Structure 1
Amino acid sequence: MSPISKLILRRLAIGALTLLIVSAIIFWAIELLPGDIATEVLGQSATPETLAAFRERFGLNDPALVRYINWLGGALTGDLGLSMANQRPISQLLGDRSFNTFFLAGYAALIAIPLAVGLGIVAALYRGSWLDRFISSSTLAVISFPEYFVAYILILIFAVHLQWFPSLAAVAPGMDLTQRLYVTFLPALTMVLIVMAHMMRMTRAAIVNLLALPYVEMAHLKGIRRRRVITVHALPNAVAPIATVIALNLAYLIVGVVLVEVVFVYPGLGQLLVDSVAKRDITVVQAACLIFAATYILLNLAADIIGIVSNPRLLHPR
């Protein structure tokens, strides 16, 4: 087995171990919540017989370690159990919600990635100019505000005053793609503005660092235009740090979507998580947290593996 394959397998093993630890943290953190779960879900007016049947149905009489092992085994086989609030299979509840969340994150990524990389190249190309300062300061100004503040500002401008887009991202399963893109534009734009600064600044920093290397200076001495030096000579060697920061920001898009979904009342995993916390539906909370954690860990692993594969010193060890 090649050294690069061993490194990738080692990272995958670390990712699996990390997910196992995170699953234990999720389960035991919810287990430490005060109060009786059956009483919280069914209400104070529930009879003792109803409470006993509820605890028996969801295995609340079993020791916590047994319930954790059963939950983890079910999650590994795709069986996340039943919702405590409405007795429906959790996999059915998460189906459309997961699609909506990943659709919104993908929509934002399709706008943010080329825009951030393009602005980073322009800022590096005109380093030290007013354009560079304007791009850097404006992106930093946007990222200084929390997501909900940016979302409310966009709603005020584009939904209230200009009335170009709806303030609520109400999507339905049978909605066509064009209508879905229109309805979800404001939440997608909110996420674009939040994550774009990281990717833009990393692209700029990676290219600026490469411009000081000898082979780039030699290209300048040969009379090659500065734009060609950046796009042809510097940019391909900056793929590793840029790809890494893109993967990390994609992870943030998935996990950080909760506040955006709540502001725009978007029917995604984040909104489901908030509603389930309010209802004390802990089985759905556990499942949603596990999906967020698994997605975040997988995308971080992807960033790590991209950095390994794109490093020539690891691909061709001596």
Structure 2
Amino acid sequence: MSASYILKRIALIFYTLVVVSLLVFAITQILPADAAVMMLGENATADALEALRQQMGLNDPIWLQYLHWAGGVLQGDFGTSLRTGQPVGPALFSALGTSLTLAAFALVFMLLLAIPMGIIAAVRRGKFADLSVSFISYIGVSLPEFVTATLAVVLVADWWKLLPPAGYVPLTQDFWGGLERLILPVIVVSVMMIAHVSRMVRSELVDVMHTDYIRAARLKGLTPRRVLFRHGLRNALLPTITIVALDVGYLLGGVIVVEEIFSIPGIGRSLMSAIQARDLPVIQAGVMIMATTYAVVNFIADVTYAWLDKRIQYD
């Protein structure tokens, strides 16, 4: 892996973010919302509305408004919420931290279960263990998050009284209390990912264990355990890196239902509230923050893949 490959990937991140910024700015411009009316109210006079539009630059050409907005974003200024009148950045970064906390615990939990399940299914291919993992995977893929979340709340929280049904407490404020409230949402958002990743690990490991270099390793007299974990699993896990990177994007924006059911103030829930309220600065900033996070995670995944996969030369 060369330095030019890393530089190309970084340049691709900036190019992607520029395209995303153009799209999100263009889309928010056609939404049926007047920033001046939302800030002053529908009873404001025409003169007051016009003065505010002039002050906010809403009368400027679209391209000039975009440059002003993009310049502010580059300086860390995401504007002011039309709904609350507060700066957008601090609130959204706090919501992002909440979503990343949920994502981190969910990913760790998923990997701890999915990889061993995939290994067992591959080693015991066609037997009861393999069929059991396949059955669990199909169930996990079939159940949408709102069904799993509802069942978890009803069974674990309401009937058995084992865990709190909802709510969020920052780990920095009360670690054990916050961890207790994260258990159910972490399990719920991990179910589908466990199904995907375990099947991926199983499929890739079965293919890898039938390659020539695995046969060569066996002929050298290496133990089955060493062949499996040292040579087979390392290569079988390479595609899993890409799946995990895609799951991060899913966890940031695709678990709105879970955040709503468990009252978790994540960035997906914040963005949905902003869309419903036509809060344009929050929508723009939320999409840009999520896109940046997603791009960085995929960059890390690509670099890790290139570092681990010695068979391919990356220019």
What is the TM-score normalised by the length of structure 1? 0.90
TM-superposition CA deviations, 1:163-189 (whole Å, max 9, x none): 212222232586221111111211111
Measured after TM superposition, the shift of residue 56 of structure 1 is: 3.4
Counterpart in 2 of 1:79? 77
Contact residue 207 and residue 238 of structure 1 kept, 8 A: yes
TM-superposition CA deviations, 1:111-152 (whole Å, max 9, x none): 112221111111111111111111122122212232222211
Measured after TM superposition, the shift of residue 220 of structure 1 is: 4.1
Counterpart in 2 of 1:16? 14
Q: For structure 1, which segment, 126-135 or 248-257, has the greater mean C-alpha deviation from structure 2 after superposition?
A: 248-257
Distance 1:304 1:108 in 2: 21
Contact residue 41 and residue 279 of structure 1 kept, 8 A: no
Counterpart in 2 of 1:246? 244
Which runs of 5 or more structure 1 residues have no equivalent in the other structure?
A: none
Distance 1:54 1:269, change over 3 A: farther
Counterpart in 2 of 1:178? 176
Distance 1:172 1:228, change over 3 A: closer
Distance 2:97 2:291 in 1: 16
Measured after TM superposition, the shift of residue 263 of structure 1 is: 2.1
Distance 1:107 1:50 in 2: 49
Contact residue 81 and residue 89 of structure 1 kept, 8 A: yes
Counterpart in 1 of 2:155? 157
Percent of counterpart pairs with the same letter? 34
Verify: 1:110 aligned to 2:96, yes or no: no
Counterpart in 2 of 1:295? 293
TM-superposition CA deviations, 1:241-299 (whole Å, max 9, x none): 22222222223222323232122221121221122122221101111111111112222
The one of 197, 202, 226 equivalent to 2:200 is 202
Distance 1:163 1:286 in 2: 41
Measured after TM superposition, the shift of residue 210 of structure 1 is: 0.9
Secondary structure (helix, strand or coil) at the match of 1:168 reads coil
Distance 1:261 1:316 in 2: 39
Measured after TM superposition, the shift of residue 316 of structure 1 is: 8.8
Contact residue 83 and residue 89 of structure 1 kept, 8 A: yes
Counterpart in 2 of 1:234? 232
The one of 52, 59, 62 equivalent to 1:61 is 59
The one of 185, 188, 206 equivalent to 1:187 is 185
Counterpart in 1 of 2:99? 101
Distance 2:116 2:171 in 1: 34
Measured after TM superposition, the shift of residue 201 of structure 1 is: 1.6
Distance 2:192 2:220 in 1: 40
Distance 1:57 1:117, change over 3 A: farther
Q: For structure 1, which segment, 217-226 or 254-263, has the greater mean C-alpha deviation from structure 2 after superposition?
A: 217-226
Q: For structure 1, which segment, 34-43 or 135-144, has the greater mean C-alpha deviation from structure 2 after superposition?
A: 34-43
| Paired amino acid for 1:141 | I
Distance 1:185 1:240 in 2: 28
Distance 2:194 2:279 in 1: 35
| Paired amino acid for 1:250 | V
Counterpart in 2 of 1:34? 32
Distance 2:67 2:264 in 1: 33
Contact residue 206 and residue 242 of structure 1 kept, 8 A: no
Contact residue 109 and residue 190 of structure 2 kept, 8 A: yes
Distance 1:54 1:178 in 2: 48
Secondary structure (helix, strand or coil) at the match of 2:312 reads helix
Verify: 1:168 aligned to 2:162, yes or no: no
Verify: 1:214 aligned to 2:212, yes or no: yes
Give the aligned length: 315
The one of 135, 145, 166 equivalent to 1:147 is 145
What is the TM-score normalised by the length of structure 2? 0.91
Measured after TM superposition, the shift of residue 237 of structure 1 is: 2.5
Contact residue 118 and residue 198 of structure 2 kept, 8 A: yes
